[in-house]
Structure 1
Amino acid sequence: MSVINIRKAEREGARLVIVLPGISGSGKTHTALLLAYGLANYDASKVGFLDAENRRGSLYAEALREADPPTDERFLIGDLYAPFSPQRYIDSILAFQEAGVEVLVIDSGSHEWEGQGGCEDIANAGNPRMPNWKLAKAEHKRFMNTLLQCDMHIILCLRAREKVEIKTVNGKREVVPIGVQPVTEKNVLFEATASLMMWNEGRNQEVIKCPGELRGILGRGQGYITASDGAALRAWVDGAKQLDRTIEHARNSLRTVTEQGTDALIKAWRALPEATRKAINAEGTCPDEFKRAAQEFDALRERDSERQTDGLNDELGIGEAAE
């Protein structure tokens, strides 16, 4: 059973993840909506907004009336409240995918890292003096995998603020300012397709990461990012080899289901129309790469369960040590 499908390299089926960190008032939310509108081919009904900022996203309900071209069509919105665990973000993202959204704005993703019930709380849930960052980062990786593998373009807004580091200078420990930094896990900005720190109500951007092909769209640094820039991104994506949208949606949905294990994958596969199954695999069977991934996730959960049981036994003094 093969782990991967090896094929000739072609630019096809691209899904973008764009990260927009910024301090309050930096223009990240308005910019994200305009960018999403253009990226959705100016179809607001295909734009989703996951609001983790206590319904602040609803204040932008009429924002696309100011876009070029303007529209009275409303984007879709869903409110996410605490606890802000990675799993609740994952479930919310997949709910928008099931709703047929093509471009999803998440505002803000910072709560997944340091909000109530987020990764910092997960790490400190046991003994705060010995935080379990291994568990917290494993949960965060699942969140990132969902962003990268889901069947939507993602625009992730992040909070940012002044941060400091404790460094040893001339033998003394000193607090050293490191400037405005995004509130998230340190690798998020570099796992994305492009990352831009927003400034001055959206008029300026500090390019943190941007591939050369997109520099003319997202890498200017000066001037507002508009819906036309989103449309230019869509044209770049659509300039690749065109794939059947229905088939790709089914394929990408199966890929996200593999994390739930073999039983969930089998159920999702059987729920597809026969013609779709054969388009994905001419033999009409679920591709080996999906089955192998689901099996690995099952094995991972079993190992985690065994470790948790062993840890509990150790705490209770049960097992060989107690004997």
Structure 2
Amino acid sequence: MTFTIRPAVRGKIGLLFGIAGASGSGKTFSALTLAEGIKGDGGKIAVIDTEAGRALHYAPKPGDKADPSKGTFDFLHLDFPAPFTPQRYIEAIQAAEQAGATVIVIDSMSHEWDGEGGCSDMAEQAAIAAATDRNGTFHAWKVESMTAPSWKKPKQAHKRMMARLIQTRTHLIFCLRAQEKIKFEKVVDEKTGKAKTEIRHLGFMPICEKSFMFELSGSMTMHPETPGEPRYDLPRKLNHELQAIFSAGERITFDKGIRLRHWAETGEDRPPVDHDAENARDLVEAIQDADQEKLQRITSNPKTIQFRKYLSENRTDLAERVDLAVQAALDGFSSEDDDGEIAA
């Protein structure tokens, strides 16, 4: 593999912006207000709604026109019921993009981690399955030992989702639920010298994978006491330029959305989409997820054979990734008999 080195030049990005908050903190309204400023002339907002249609509270009544100054917005609505798997979030975003959305609000992203069918649920179900024997008898004592390995697939699914989000060209705003966290600490009483347990309040923390908020372009957390305002005493990721846009104590406004779009779109154009790389990535993931029978079908499919031949002649770097994925899968099936052989 060769590396390309050139002078660093700022480039345009697709925004990944997170707004976390407890109920009543104004995160949905703030997200729509930002989206209204980001979309610009001719842009379109879409809302991916995991909250049973709650986003529709911000839509105009039949026959009325949207008026952001009065709390109503013009947007496409995508109802997103469970299961909230990482892959379905990607599919929902792709559907919104195909509908013409230029800025997408995902409300709520917390379900990907802590909702029905989300990563935590996937891990729990995997642990239960692993603790159930072939006769269908569940052994509760096995669950704890199965917890760590049960997280392998959910974490892989989350990583795949993040890789796709980072590559998106559409501006994305994520709303996340937040809950108040506490920590029990043992301290020594200065008067008696005896140990005692105290409760330390950590404030509102976003419900998501632990590094999610910090992998975004920017993020903030709001508090019900100061709805619509970024709180600098709560988890956030705002560089000096974003801090100039989102000052502590100032409510989110349409103008801040315009400034955020300008920040994201300042720089040279991004290179065109590498469709070969995207297709190779999809093939590698299909190979990684396949059982032996499915892998046989994938590798013997004429389209797959033709695509791998094209890669070997034109994109050797991608061809190598596919070859390695196939070999890794074959190694995993090494216990199979010769009748189940799969051609690499």
Q: TM tier, shorter chain?
A: 0.7 to 0.9
Distance in 2 (alpha carbons) for counterparts of 1:174 and 1:72: 45
Out of 226, 237, 243, the position equivalent to 2:253 is 226
- CA separation of 1:90/1:60 partners in 2, compared to 1, >3 Å: closer, same or farther? same
Deviations 1:37-88, CA, capped at 9 Å, x for gaps: 1111154x521211111111122113993336x9997311211111111111
Q: Does 1:67 align with 2:68?
A: yes
Distance in 2 (alpha carbons) for counterparts of 1:23 and 1:234: 26
> What SS does structure 2 have at the residue aligned with 1:65?
coil
Partner residue in 2 for 1:35: 34
Partner residue in 1 for 2:208: 184
Distance in 1 (alpha carbons) for counterparts of 2:154 and 2:72: 42
Shift of 1:251: 1.1
TM-score (normalised: structure 2): 0.70
Residues 165 and 177 in structure 1, CA contact (< 8 A), matched pair in contact too: yes
Distance in 1 (alpha carbons) for counterparts of 2:37 and 2:52: 26
- Give 1:83-94 correspondences, 5 Å limit: 83-94=83-94
Partner residue in 2 for 1:13: 12
Partner residue in 1 for 2:52: 54
* Larger radius of gyration between Structure 1 and Structure 2: 2
Residues 150 and 253 in structure 1, CA contact (< 8 A), matched pair in contact too: no
Shift of 1:258: 4.5
Q: Does 1:259 align with 2:286?
A: no
Partner residue in 1 for 2:178: 160
- Give 1:231-246 correspondences, 5 Å limit: 231-241=258-268, 243=269
Residues 84 and 111 in structure 1, CA contact (< 8 A), matched pair in contact too: yes
- CA separation of 1:139/1:165 partners in 2, compared to 1, >3 Å: closer, same or farther? farther
Deviates more, 1:298-307 or 1:161-170: 298-307
> What SS does structure 2 have at the residue aligned with 1:209?
coil
- CA separation of 1:205/1:263 partners in 2, compared to 1, >3 Å: closer, same or farther? closer
Distance in 1 (alpha carbons) for counterparts of 2:179 and 2:331: 40
- Give 1:95-114 correspondences, 5 Å limit: 95-114=95-114
Shift of 1:237: 3.0
Residues 96 and 104 in structure 1, CA contact (< 8 A), matched pair in contact too: yes
Deviating above 6 A after TM superposition, structure 1's stretches of 4 or more consecutive aligned residues are: 70-73, 170-175, 288-291
For residue 57 of structure 1, what is the amino acid of its counterpart? Answer: A
Partner residue in 2 for 1:148: 166
- CA separation of 1:203/1:122 partners in 2, compared to 1, >3 Å: closer, same or farther? closer
Residues 146 and 256 in structure 1, CA contact (< 8 A), matched pair in contact too: no
Partner residue in 1 for 2:123: 123
TM-score (normalised: structure 1): 0.74
Q: Does 1:214 align with 2:236?
A: no
- CA separation of 1:172/1:229 partners in 2, compared to 1, >3 Å: closer, same or farther? same
Residues 104 and 170 in structure 2, CA contact (< 8 A), matched pair in contact too: yes
Shift of 1:7: 3.5
Residues 22 and 178 in structure 2, CA contact (< 8 A), matched pair in contact too: yes
> What SS does structure 2 have at the residue aligned with 1:78?
strand
For residue 205 of structure 1, what is the amino acid of its counterpart? Answer: P
What are structure 1's unaligned runs of at least 5 residues? 268-284, 315-323
Deviations 1:259-304, CA, capped at 9 Å, x for gaps: 312799xx9xxxxxxxxxxxxxxxxx99x99874575367447636
Shift of 1:135: 2.1
For residue 240 of structure 1, what is the amino acid of its counterpart? Answer: G
Partner residue in 1 for 2:157: 139
Distance in 2 (alpha carbons) for counterparts of 1:150 and 1:79: 21
- CA separation of 1:263/1:206 partners in 2, compared to 1, >3 Å: closer, same or farther? closer
Percent of paired sites with the same residue: 34
Distance in 2 (alpha carbons) for counterparts of 1:215 and 1:51: 28
- CA separation of 1:42/1:65 partners in 2, compared to 1, >3 Å: closer, same or farther? farther
Q: CA RMSD in A?
A: 3.7
Shift of 1:31: 0.6
